[in-house]
Structure 1
Amino acid sequence: MSEATNAAVGVRVDGHVLIVSIQRPQVRNAVNMAVAQGIAAAMEELDANPALHIGVLTGSGGTFCAGMDLKAFAYEGVEPAIEGRGFAGLCEAPPRKPLIAAVEGHAVAGGFEIVLACDMVVAARGASFGLPEAKRGIVASSGGLMRLPQRLSANLAMEMALLGDPISAEQAHAWGLVNRLVEPGQALAAALVLARAIDANAPLAVAASKQIVQGSRNWSDAEMFERQRPIARAVNGSADAREGAAAFAQKRVARWRGC
């Protein structure tokens, strides 16, 4: 296991899993430029390093993220966005590989938009999610208003966006926004269990499956199979595909090579 940090963001590798933690608990992990730079660098490493198959993003000190650091913005005048990646170095360009949010405490405003940029969510009981921007006279412009209707019904997404009130982790789980609901303090551990279970599958197939699930939202019925075909063909013709079939036939654990 290796570890690295830029003071605002901690990064460590556990097997094939990249664990990224926002390290500003004194301000409820609010995002400043250092956080955005740290997350952006971690996402670039996740996608570029073939030894990494999946990421987990969390916060420190019992909370996930309270959004943008408004004090830092007021004094420094710099919005914590990275060119090409957007707010928090993530919201406009999530990684190609799967990313799980492990949520304790608050995930509100930009913090909730970070969660929505992830592919799956593990949350502790007592955590809360929300887009309070309408209460402050602004718009949640880092993807929250566009991604929320992809996760919830249009009516529920509209209610959250217009009312601005937070919802509990229990409600988010009931609505299908949270994949797994766990006891307080267990979100990261449970997210790692989920990550390792996914990591047991073929990395090429996992990455391609994410690509198809996400991309197909914008594919018409007429074009969807044509759009899927080259992605699936590249994986189904791989050495890992042959290994998967052989391992099944021989009743053994597959040895994935990522090619």
Structure 2
Amino acid sequence: MAQICVDRIGAVEILTIENQNKRNAFSGNMAENFLELLKEADKTPSVRCVVITGAGSAFSSGHDLSEILGQGADGLREENNRAFTYPTSMVKPTIAAINGVAYAGGLILALSCDLRIASISSSFCVPGARIGLLPIGGQLSRLFRLMPYSRALEMVLTAEPMLGTEAHAVGFVNRLVADSQVLSTSLQIAKKIASNSPSVIQSAKKGFEGSLRNGLSFGETFEWQTGPISASTEDAREGVGAFFEKRSPKFADK
């Protein structure tokens, strides 16, 4: 059955792409449902981190080509692909737990997440040149910022897969783990993030994303404008107080 499954472990929400007969391609209204779930998680104070993974032995092969070709140009318009890029707009941090292929829209989703944890058997591909469809959703504008420019361009021009081992070596993947450890490692990192100050985590993500899009000057201005504000927050009082009292901080949901 093609669907998005939702689970919660403490402050971490897990979204699982389920369409194993098509290597977890987004069919029917899956993308629409996925986008709504991301939006809901982002505005839920008790959710502090979102982990995205695929069912079985694949992350996602992206769009269901049998459907997207029938949509013509509309299938490649931004508004119809927002589900794949939405993590870049989220306040809450996202982790892609990549347990197999991440191709096309699946790659867009992976590169849109804040962190990428991949299995040894994972692979990544920009297949557009091979199937006659221009890569969209950050494959031309964001991918080369997450790995060496020339290697990203080679992926686009050759449409050949990059194995997880190389993706880790070039810095695109944060951690490379055994197939059986992808989700558990991702959850371990997510729980660590969730235990930290929500206001700092959210501001840090905003600063990184803004700097990636707008350059160094944006990041420097953001730091000096936002840093002093953070000193007067409830999170700062709790964090500093916990440090001096030699206890773990207990930050309120945001």
TM-score of the two chains, using structure 1 as the length reference: 0.89
Bigger fraction of residues in helix: 2
What is the Cα-based RMSD across aligned positions, in Å?
2.2
2:18 is aligned with what amino acid?
Answer: Q
Question: How far has the Cα of 1:239 moved from its partner?
Answer: 0.7
* Counterpart selection for 2:177 from 182, 205, 218: 182
Q: Give the match's secondary structure for 1:90.
A: helix
Calculate percent identity across the aligned residue pairs: 31
Which range is displaced more, 232-241 or 167-176?
Answer: 232-241
Q: Give the match's secondary structure for 2:13.
A: strand
Matches within 5 A, 1:161-240: 161-219=156-214, 221-222=216-217, 224-240=219-235
Deviations 1:38-78 (A, max 9, x none): 21111111211000000000110211111110113345777
Which range is displaced more, 68-77 or 181-190?
Answer: 68-77
| Structure 1 pair 184–132 and aligned structure 2 pair: CA distance change class (3 A) | same
Q: Give the match's secondary structure for 1:146.
A: coil
Question: How far has the Cα of 1:217 moved from its partner?
Answer: 2.4
Contact map agreement 1:132 1:161 (CA 8 A) in 2: yes
1:245 is aligned with what amino acid?
Answer: V
Partner of 2:92: 97
Q: Which blocks of at least 5 consecutive residues in structure 1 are unaligned?
A: 1-5
2:181 is aligned with what amino acid?
Answer: Q
1:163 is aligned with what amino acid?
Answer: T
Q: Give the match's secondary structure for 2:142.
A: helix
CA distance in 1 between counterparts of 2:229 and 2:170 reads 35
Question: How far has the Cα of 1:185 moved from its partner?
Answer: 2.6
Question: How far has the Cα of 1:166 moved from its partner?
Answer: 0.4
Contact map agreement 1:68 1:110 (CA 8 A) in 2: yes
* Counterpart selection for 2:75 from 76, 79, 91: 79
Question: How far has the Cα of 1:220 moved from its partner?
Answer: 5.0
Q: Give the match's secondary structure for 1:122.
A: strand
Partner of 1:45: 40
Question: How far has the Cα of 1:171 moved from its partner?
Answer: 0.7
TM-score of the two chains, using structure 2 as the length reference: 0.91
1:160 is aligned with what amino acid?
Answer: M
Q: Give the match's secondary structure for 1:96.
A: coil
- Indicate whether 1:252 and 2:241 are aligned: no
Q: Which runs of 4+ in 1 moved over 6 A?
A: none
Which range is displaced more, 194-203 or 229-238?
Answer: 229-238
Q: Give the match's secondary structure for 1:57.
A: strand
Aligned residues: 252
Q: Give the match's secondary structure for 2:84.
A: coil
* Counterpart selection for 1:120 from 99, 115, 123: 115
CA distance in 1 between counterparts of 2:4 and 2:147 reads 30
Partner of 1:3: none
Contact map agreement 1:62 1:185 (CA 8 A) in 2: no
Contact map agreement 1:33 1:80 (CA 8 A) in 2: no
Question: How far has the Cα of 1:242 moved from its partner?
Answer: 1.0
Deviations 1:131-164 (A, max 9, x none): 0111112211122211111101111111111111
CA distance in 2 between counterparts of 1:126 and 1:258 reads 36
Contact map agreement 2:85 2:112 (CA 8 A) in 1: yes
- Indicate whether 1:27 and 2:59 are aligned: no
| Structure 1 pair 27–224 and aligned structure 2 pair: CA distance change class (3 A) | closer
Partner of 1:131: 126
CA distance in 1 between counterparts of 2:218 and 2:164 reads 37
CA distance in 2 between counterparts of 1:251 and 1:136 reads 58
Question: How far has the Cα of 1:79 moved from its partner?
Answer: 3.0
Q: Which blocks of at least 5 consecutive residues in structure 2 are unaligned?
A: none
Contact map agreement 2:210 2:219 (CA 8 A) in 1: no
| Structure 1 pair 80–187 and aligned structure 2 pair: CA distance change class (3 A) | farther
